Structure 1
């Protein structure tokens, strides 16, 4: 029975992925030195891992440190001025917590971006975990979810992961949790690693409640 729900942040809790995608496709991908990067290869990964992939496979137009500064400056402004919490998500969090479920945020985003979202919303997770907190590759590596479960003292069989990206879904699957794929701005397509798909927040709520009631 599910007792813990681990939410990804970007594309699930906040509508930031559309801004990220636009920035990658319009401001970053056209500047690489060779090849054609695609969104699915990087979405869900940490900034550090994205930069490593882009530099090693495609070649960055500037020094790695300079590029990271550019990306972080974009993201600082985006989270501050543009990204908003998914409608209904604050109510969903509160409702799950009222049912006795533990709710956490597990994200590849930097700690300060997660903190900004939490501080400027009514989301009240038991813990937050950032890719910054672990010394391991980011999603699709399962380490970030294993780390979250260790902090909470729970087994994978008790955990439900809510993810939007292919990389995130794979991470949840490799951590042996149950995974729902949900995308706040669009219909989510099933992939082999997702156990369920929720097309909207109502379906997401219903599926979580169902799984938390199953013995």
Structure 2
């Protein structure tokens, strides 16, 4: 009995640390934009989900999507990162519940408020299925948008992000994303619950360069993650 009590008392207790939303980004995969799952570290020092790395390896000739250096199909597990995720907590972006980072991905997959704002995560195994949409022809000339807060006009995607973050960072009104609303699948009546976060995370590429209107939005986002960096100049080895 005494021995059992001694063993119980000697077990290490994890000290949990709460981190803010900016620090959480250090533990998100640059490919799927979700909390890292089975993180690996490439030879060039970048960290991805193991499954995301495997998909990227096949899609991009084994080159790292961040620096274009060659990687190995089997990279080393980033056990230090995984260990940190077991001791750090953050608030869910949807429901604001405090969740351990190692459990955050599972939580967001079932959090109704998170799914309402950001939609389901890209599935690592199954291509996203098309969502109901009207795939009508869209004029791709111009590509300027109006700020939903102040109605200022003629912003491209990058300009709209800069404008809103500069002039409306404290505005919590629910507004319609003008970029999403202009797409064939867009719902002009959908009001984003957190527009600034949606804008900065969802619209990190230029639709005019990468959109294929024969594809569903989620499928295009997945393809863009893998293909957009092809336009970048290659780094000499």
TM value normalised by structure 1: 0.32
Larger radius of gyration: 2
**Structure ranking higher in helix proportion:** 1
Which protein, 1 or 2, shows the higher relative CO under an 8 Å CA cutoff with sep ≥ 6? 1
TM value normalised by structure 2: 0.30
